[in-house]
Structure 1
């Protein structure tokens, strides 16, 4: 299964024509037809339905096209990363982190690591805690930062930082005269939360169910800044990490309150995939953010 044939499939799918697809890939029509026929025989499926005015991709073809596009993205990333070595870049560290860690604690540590290791390129992806763990376990990220609990035993973890959830209410709200509130206090109001899958949102749902109550999740959005603006507009109250809650209280017409619950205290976890030896770039990052006792440190292999 070669790239020329896969690119031909993509061209035919986009043009809805074997002739135009062949032209776009600079192939003779007979050669393109032969490649397509051989690929269909190898896969044991029909990729295109022939119509009077061209072809229509089958479901099998659409599935194949998704993988071809993913392959193109991977090849582009591969080329970009290898070319960087010619410009003096000595490594690439892929980090996946949840929104809370990015908002509360991770940026200063990334700056410090970048200053100490200017020849290592860092990429950062914002995912939910569950998505972070899957990305690291499956090799799509080198390091993950997420909120406990650990869901995947394929990971080696360290405690990175601690954070605490807070409550954001509009100034003048019935709760705004307090300095702290319980979760029961919040269940009487509309709650503005993060999208499904966010650790804090899942925890609130779990806590509401345990109390035999319903979580009035009026709005769910992506991004703490959007939550703050909706709270300021009077559409509800919100539970979010304490760091951003305090910052928003200084910028918007809001008040940050302590959430007086044991589960409001959260551990941020640093994780890598379990392996006998960590690549040097990854080990340096782990050691800088979570200097472990010698017995907890994984052996290092040179890149």
Structure 2
């Protein structure tokens, strides 16, 4: 077996044949003559020392060896695509890329303005922003898919260094005409008996509501799960329940949807968002530049959690 004989053209052809289910169709997709494509597949099989396809009258199917190669080929070709994108960035004057993952609260309330200012000040740094649940954000940073993550304070984050970033406050949002619509403030226990509209179960907000409701000896009555604050407000306006969400996220929707915001008096409605990395002091320069921008101070002068 001589894997050093593998080449990217043959790997790409192999993936196209897998996708098409036939060597002739794969050759067409790769703009190769069928004879040349068959020769490349044969050379590839010789290089790995095993047949990659079972040939039959209707096309080809993968052998176990072919399945193993396909898993690795997908990753290799994806890495090559990413390399091409990175080199293209450098050709266009981009000097760095920061992979930032953040939860919905951060993206909805704070990041648009912060990132717009950053890009204006650092046009050579490209931000790859990915939205995810807080737990997914932590995992992305831990396994190296993200340079920086922004997540809720109660999220388990063992293995990360964190900095306090922003605070927000949760409020109860109800439709006009709801029995609680005329209240200026109330304790969450007074609303817990109503139907709720919630974010998906994996989000830090949904988990916090479930935990606090359990602490009251009650079960949260979820009518519907949605994936955004806008959708939560739309469902509340439609009369499907009440919702707890950040004040800054709800405020733009109140007048447009004829909703009411009621202050919650419970201490847990004050939340903190954290910035996290595996090693804040060892961040690549572009990520460190973004961290400094987001915190407004150098991280090495701050208390790590």
Q: What TM-score results when the alignment is normalised by the length of structure 1?
A: 0.85
Q: Is the 8 A contact 2:14 2:41 kept in 1?
A: no
Alignment RMSD (CA, Å): 2.7
Give the match for residue 301 of structure 1. Answer: none
For the structure 1 residues 60 and 97, does the alpha-carbon distance in structure 2 shift closer, same or farther, using more than 3 Å as the test?
farther
Comparing 69-78 with 237-246, greater Cα deviation is found at 69-78
Give the match for residue 203 of structure 1. Answer: 208
Q: In 2, distance between residues paired with 1:168 and 1:91?
A: 41
For the structure 1 residues 88 and 170, does the alpha-carbon distance in structure 2 shift closer, same or farther, using more than 3 Å as the test?
same
Q: Is the 8 A contact 2:163 2:275 kept in 1?
A: yes
Q: In 1, distance between residues paired with 2:171 and 2:66?
A: 49
Q: In 1, distance between residues paired with 2:150 and 2:19?
A: 39
Matched, 1:35 2:44: yes
Give the match for residue 223 of structure 2. Answer: 218
For residue 153 of structure 1, report the CA deviation from its aligned partner. Answer: 2.5
**Aligned with residue 116 of structure 1, among 114, 121, 127:** 121
For residue 164 of structure 1, report the CA deviation from its aligned partner. Answer: 1.3
Give the match for residue 147 of structure 2. Answer: 142
Q: What TM-score results when the alignment is normalised by the length of structure 2?
A: 0.85
Matched, 1:76 2:81: yes
For residue 51 of structure 1, report the CA deviation from its aligned partner. Answer: 4.0
Q: In 1, distance between residues paired with 2:181 and 2:64?
A: 55
Q: Is the 8 A contact 1:22 1:32 kept in 2?
A: no
For residue 144 of structure 1, report the CA deviation from its aligned partner. Answer: 1.1
Give the match for residue 242 of structure 1. Answer: 247
Comparing 140-149 with 104-113, greater Cα deviation is found at 104-113
Q: In 1, distance between residues paired with 2:49 and 2:198?
A: 47
For the structure 1 residues 89 and 202, does the alpha-carbon distance in structure 2 shift closer, same or farther, using more than 3 Å as the test?
same
- 3-state SS of paired residue (1:123): strand
Q: Can you give the 5+ residue segments of structure 2 that lack an aligned partner in the other structure?
A: none
Q: Is the 8 A contact 2:280 2:299 kept in 1?
A: no
Q: In 2, distance between residues paired with 1:297 and 1:273?
A: 15
- 3-state SS of paired residue (2:202): coil
Matched, 1:169 2:174: yes
Q: In 2, distance between residues paired with 1:255 and 1:66?
A: 52
Alignment size in residue pairs? 294
Q: Is the 8 A contact 1:169 1:236 kept in 2?
A: yes
Q: Is the 8 A contact 2:23 2:60 kept in 1?
A: yes
Q: In 2, distance between residues paired with 1:297 and 1:108?
A: 25
Q: Can you give the 5+ residue segments of structure 1 that lack an aligned partner in the other structure?
A: 299-303
Q: In 1, distance between residues paired with 2:260 and 2:64?
A: 52
Give the match for residue 151 of structure 1. Answer: 156
Q: Is the 8 A contact 2:195 2:241 kept in 1?
A: yes
